[in-house]
Amino acid sequence: MASAPEEQLLRQLIMDRLAERTVHNGGFVTRAELSAFEVAGVTRRLIDTSKGIWNPRDLMATLSIVSSPEGPYQDREVEGGLFHYDYRAGSLAGDNTKLRRAAELGLPLILLRKIAAGTYVPVFPVYVVDDDQAARQFVIALDESVRFMPKPAEWTEDQRRYAERIVRQRLHQPEFRGRVIRAYATRCTVCSLRHGELLDAAHIVADAEDGGLPIVTNGLSLCKIHHGAYDAQLLGISPDYRVHIDRDLLVEVDGPMLRHGLQDMHGKTLELPGRRSDWPDRDRLAARFERFGQTA
């Protein structure tokens, strides 16, 4: 078994590689990928075959934990950048022992948020910062900085706002991205580009506005140029799922990127998700398109 510094380095290598794979896929990874994950020429498992806690024999502490909204446990987000993770059922020991060891050694873990059967959004590094044996839960910090903050009851208003921002950045935004990109089969809804690393999950109604929920029907899978054009009101999408390009932009003369990337998209019908329940909400599209019409 490796020493703590060696294990810290191995975990960093795993997480660096996992970050690359997640970006490549568009924000999510599959169980098949996690079950045979190549790191530095070695194939490793990053998820247990059936349980939510993965304790590799050659590591001193837990490597990953799975959180599933459909699962039997009551994992729940709590104030700020903290997350409660239920013990493995049974005794206080067993699989839970190596999670306590992760806290003792300050080793980072991978939180795998299940968004569909066999599909996960990885959140990492996360850290075990408390062991609530009375509630049979571990407290997980979603960001290293939160490890060193006071307990939530002692937070200042600035600390509370900071921790809430951490949750959005580390949990809500990645989950929204993963769900949206997966729903659109890792392609841009406008141009069908299939490179996950070049795709964004764009809000139809911004998350700061009423109705701006982080749900698939309030999202669009857009490549970076079409996301930028959508946010800049150079591209609009009507409730009948058609693309509209700003009038001035349509008559502008420039190079092939403008012609093929934007002007040729005018009048195109979106490539919609396979499940009708994932299609973009028409009312949200209408509200957003009304603003486009005012500027086009």
pLDDT in tens, 151-197: 777 888 888 888 778 877 888 889 999 999 999 999 999 999 999 99
Least-confidence region, from 6-10, 88-92, 277-281: 88-92
Query: For residues 112 and 64, is the Cβ–Cβ distance under 8 A?
Result: yes
pLDDT value of position 168: 77
d(CA 175, CA 167): 11
pLDDT value of position 221: 98
pLDDT value of position 208: 78
- What distances in angstroms separate CA 217 from CA 189, 203, 233, one per listed residue? 13, 9, 20
In this prediction the pTM is 0.88
Query: For residues 204 and 281, is the Cβ–Cβ distance under 8 A?
Result: yes
Q: How confident is the model at residue 87 (pLDDT cuts 50, 70, 90)?
A: confident
Q: How confident is the model at residue 294 (pLDDT cuts 50, 70, 90)?
A: low
pLDDT value of position 80: 64
Q: Which residue has the tokens 């660096």?
A: 16
d(CA 224, CA 199): 6
pLDDT value of position 89: 73
Most confident of 66-75, 122-131, 222-231: 222-231
d(CA 177, CA 29): 12
pLDDT of residue 296 exceeding 60, the answer is no
Q: How confident is the model at residue 231 (pLDDT cuts 50, 70, 90)?
A: very high
pLDDT value of position 45: 97
pLDDT value of position 272: 98
pLDDT of residue 26 exceeding 60, the answer is yes
pLDDT of residue 79 exceeding 90, the answer is no
d(CA 25, CA 15): 15
Give the start-to-end residue ranges of the domains of the chain: 4-169, 186-295
d(CA 205, CA 221): 14
What the block records as the tokens of 214 is 């982080």
pLDDT value of position 134: 85
pLDDT value of position 153: 72
Average pLDDT for the chain:
90
SS3 label, residue 142? coil
Strand pairing category for 37-39 and 64-67: unpaired
pLDDT value of position 131: 87
Using CA of residue 76, residue 221, residue 270, residue 292, what is the dihedral sign? positive
Q: How confident is the model at residue 2 (pLDDT cuts 50, 70, 90)?
A: low
Q: How far apart are the first and last CA of the chain?
A: 63
pLDDT of residue 92 exceeding 80, the answer is no
Task: Cite the beta strand spans of 76-229 per DSSP E.
Answer: 76-77, 82-86, 109-116, 119-132, 137-141, 199-203, 219-223
Look up the CATH architecture of domain 4-169: Roll (2.30)
Mean pLDDT across 280-289:
96
